[in-house]
Chain A
Amino acid sequence: MNFFKKHKKEDDTDEELLNKYRNTNDSEYFGLLYNRYMPLVYGVCLKYLQNEDKAQDAVMEIFEMLLPKVAGYEIKVFKTWLYSVVKNHCFHILKENKRELTVDFDSNLMESDSVLTLLVEDVDTEREKALNKCLEKLPEPQRIAVYKFFFEDMSYAEIVENTGFHLKSVKSYIQNGKRNLKNCIESSVKEE
């Protein structure tokens, strides 16, 4: 019985946990919720602070900062809200220390690209035809990377093993390939 109940608590959605925290003021609920996203929070802190110790401090700081305040905020989607809180906190730390931020332009530009759902949604035949045509037009490394990722369901690491490309280049091949494909498909669909 208890076992079952415990399971249920873990399965609560973010918003349910947040509501429970609001209603009961029992910090365990928020701890549970925060722990759920801790790997992401830590990763983002690492990205911006580039230092394990500082990132760990930031993770704990953010928790301590949010614990008393979070109930007062109106939060629709906890995950996106937390993301911006974490980013802002990191920027704040950087600003306070007046340290220059080293920006990895390459990956940053790649990852922030807005082309997201290209092949995930159902494709009508016309688009599929265009897609096949466009795939062939892609530069070879991009085509290989895109094909292996989307059609052969390989992970980045597997593509690296399979092709010998560098991990970073695999990422950018896929991103750039997707963008090129999108542009190509859009223009060819317009033409017809």
Chain B
Amino acid sequence: MNLLDYIKGNRKGKGARKLELDAMQDPFLADAMEGFDSVKGDHADKISRMQAQIAARTASSSSADKRFVGYRIAVAAVVLIAALSGYLTLMNHKSTMLSAQENQQDTFYIYAPEEYLAKKRAELTQLQEESKGKASLNPIVKVENLNEIIQPFEPMYVYYPESHYDRDRYDMNSSEQLLAVAATPSVQSDYILPESISHTETARSEVAESRNVIQGRVTDQNGEPLIGVSIAIKGTNTGTLTDIDGNYSLKSNIESPELVASYIGFDSAEVSNPFANQDITMKESQLALNEVVVTGHGALKKKELTGAISTVEAKDLALANTSEVNKALEGKMAGVQAKSNDDAKIRIRGAGSISTDEKPLYVLDGVPVSDISHISPSDIESMEVLKDAASTAIYGSRASNGIVLITTKKASNSKPEPYTGWKSYNKYLNDNKTRTKGSDCEKKKGTVELEFEVGEDGKPINIRVAKSVCDSLDNDAISLLRNGALWNGKGMAKIKVKY
């Protein structure tokens, strides 16, 4: 069972189960499988593409330095062939370049012949087919993609018949011949300098001997080994990672090296003058743990957002005492330009584009709207301007010019109440209630209940008698309400007057 098949959704049978069983013991595999499940898409296809890319990338880079040699040999070959054909023409009067190639066993062809490439292509395809059945993670390049890999190298370099490979010296094999036809031939041995190679090798081993080996074990405070901790020698590029048991070993050629161990979720530990056996204990980092924050990105509230947010409260807007929101915003928020032209113009983060709309996205009580010029500043409870890029993540590209979140007063669910507060208002009702003298109702007792709405100016409007006692008493109560304190908030309210 191949992981790629599993990703494609082929999840039944022994093979799939084996893979799942493996995943239990292999966090790498388990993580990967989780990743494939968590993001939708044609992952197998993407992987094949990337594998082909890397195959092409490594093949081309490995032949990059040979290319130079290849050109030289190509030139040499042309000269040789020209000389040979010239010689043959002179001597035999019948020779052509073609016959030179046919007759000479040890000449070489410029460009690989098409039959050869076709043969190799078939071989590789067969290999692919065969390795499919194997239960391993062998890279699979789709058969259709083979041509992509082969193609770029076809017409490029020099092709040497197989008799020219010096197998003892160069471990050649078919893939190298196929992918980079410009493989190293025996003719080329002049250009490789074996002396220089062996020279560097001896130099390397000398350095290795002079280094001190530092090794040890990295654990957390509980003595548990930490896997994959990066250990570096301060001030150098030398470093390593701890293995599965938390062990590490490092070579250092510095007099008194300083070790720095770092690991996610832990404070980095520094050890100066480490011993040959240097165990390191790392402490969990309080700070780093907070780096991973679980958030819900769906919510719209300011408190759940991070980043640059400016807020203007209702009282600041009311102070401006204008009829337009953008005028009220002038100079209230950092980084927000509000121009008091004829139409409402608000620019956040400057003008983002010259060709498209520069308007921010207005979100009115959670609903995105295009225009806010019809809203009176006095209706606004609060305005929040989101200036950071994270806001784009919530509202999409519409929000690339920033977002203005507006909460209107209506949307806040406070019930209307008197400016003076209920306590003193009730006192007012009690102290000032009067009876119109001479009416039938003079001696009646009971409670009048009035329902009304709070108008724009805070005065009660649309007053309705919800519970009547007597006509004149009702009227008395209404005038009491009219003459009383103003009201805060919006919507329906109710008062009771006891007679």
Contact = CB atoms under 8 A, between A and B. Distances in A.
B223 interface: no
Residue of B24, B41, B131 with most chain A CB atoms under a 10 A cut-off:
B24
A27 B175 CA distance: 13
Interface stretch (B51-59, B355-363, B433-441): B51-59
A94 to B, nearest CB: 9
Interface string A100-128: 11111101000110001100100000000
Contacts of A87: 31, 228
A184 interface: no
B41 A77 contact: no
Interface of B is mostly: helix
A30 B61 CA distance: 12
A85 interface: yes
Interface residues of B, number: 72
B43 interface: yes
A48 interface: yes
A52 B38 contact: no
Contacts of A132: none
24 contacts: A2-B173, A6-B173, A28-B175, A31-B57, A35-B55, A37-B137, A38-B139, A46-B35, A46-B39, A51-B39, A52-B46, A56-B46, A60-B50, A63-B54, A63-B57, A73-B240, A73-B241, A74-B240, A91-B264, A103-B294, A116-B25, A157-B12, A157-B16, A158-B12
A36 B138 contact: yes
B54 A88 contact: no
A154 B174 contact: no
A190 interface: no
A74 B27 CA distance: 22
Contacts of A76: 243
Residue of A30, A48, A81, A95 with most chain B CB atoms under a 10 A cut-off:
A81
A38 B47 contact: yes
A59 interface: yes
Nearest to A76: B243
Interface of A: 2-3, 5-10, 26-28, 30-32, 34-48, 50-52, 55-56, 59-60, 63, 72-74, 76-77, 79-85, 87-88, 91, 95, 100-105, 107, 111-112, 116-117, 120, 149, 153-158, 161
Contacts of B39: 46, 50-52, 55
A56 B38 contact: no
Interface stretch (B3-11, B317-325, B474-482): B3-11
Nearest to A9: B173
Contacts of B21: 120
A46 B38 CA distance: 8
B139 A36 contact: yes
Nearest to A37: B137
Contacts of A60: 50, 53-54
B146 interface: no
B456 to A, nearest CB: 43
Contact of A35 (B7, B16, B24, B54): B54
A61 to B, nearest CB: 12
Given A10-B131, A60-B54, A111-B34, 8 more contacts: A7-B127, A27-B61, A39-B32, A73-B241, A74-B240, A81-B228, A84-B241, A112-B27
Contact of A28 (B51, B58, B291): B58
